[in-house]
Amino acid sequence: MDVANRTVDPSCSGDAPLALDVILQLDIFGIILFSVLTFMAAVSMLVYMEECVYIYNKVPSNKKSLIIWVNGAAPVIGSMSCLGMWVPRATMFTDMTSACYFAIVVFKFLILMVEEVGGDEAFLQRAGKHKLRISTGPCCCCCPCLPHVAITRRSLFLLKLGSFQFALLKVVFTIISIILWRNGNFDLANLEITGSAIWINPIVGVLTIIALWPVAIMFMHLRTTLRSLKIIPKYAMYQLVLVLSQLQSAIINILAMNGTIGCSPPYSSPARGYLMSQQLLILEMFIITLVTRLLYRRQYDPLPEEKHDDDENTKMVGVQQIA
């Protein structure tokens, strides 16, 4: 057959399908898949709501909102992914909502680590004689020669500011993106130099790296002190949400835009890539929600006094396991 005479399904080059078209095109396997994933997203949100009740009743007031924000990362992303799965044309908005929420979680997780020690004053009192190692990821993991930084009010403020700027500017850039999209100037598939997406996305990427750096610095400093509070698996879950919601989704969407992921009516290649990303996220966030529930559901007793050790001069020393 002559290549020129081949016909291309209109859905392969058009916009994402409407929600009604998605429902009408579902076969038996599709109905089961969509139903199971929707059930997982609903269970994730119910588990989160139950956890919020527990936190409200059992957790000290200075940590309530922080833990609720951090715990909500996986169920919120899973719920937004479920909405994007059923309403493909809303995917840009659901992704932006998830990204804005996680930007706030990055800042909240940093503050949570400080509050687990007892707050700013307790942190400075415990850590005043130590120094921060700033040669850590994602910015300076390849620069071990960087000097250690003294822990002062100013350095603590700069760490908080480094994460807070992402929580603020991510929301600002999201609003700008929506305004430009409504005006026809923002298109994720437009990779030309004149497109606004090609400028906004790299800027947001740089802001993300800058925001993650203070969290990594604080974690490296407090991981021994907060080991009894399971800070290492908590940090691992936080990092996993970041990788899955940002890096995994970006890779799948790039493959879809390049045509590596084929068209499957009524989904075009980009729309099918988004669909695959949403479905994976629902499953992954469901598992992470259950794991984080186990990690944060505990007795919130104050940390014991710090032990002194003359050989430990670059990080806070460990504490005895809480009974």
| Model confidence pLDDT, tens digit, residues 77-96 | 999 999 999 998 888 889 88
User: pTM, whole model, 2 decimals?
Assistant: 0.84
Which pLDDT score is estimated for 78? 93
Task: Tell me how far apart the alpha carbons of residues 245 and 280 are, in angstroms, rounded to a whole number.
Answer: 10
DSSP 16: P
Bridge partner residues of 267 (DSSP): 264
Residue 224's alpha-carbon distances to 49, 50, 220, 312, 320, in angstroms, are 31, 30, 8, 11, 10
Average pLDDT, the chain: 80
Distance of CA 294 to the CA centre of its chain: 19
Give the residue from 197, 199, 225 showing the smallest Cα distance to 130.
Answer: 225
Q: 112: Cβ–Cβ under 8 A, 6 or more apart, which residues?
A: 63, 66, 67, 70
At 208-226, the pLDDT tens digits run 888 998 898 888 888 888 8
Q: Which amino acid does the sequence have at 301?
A: D
Residue whose entry in the numeric block shows the structure tokens 């990594």: 216
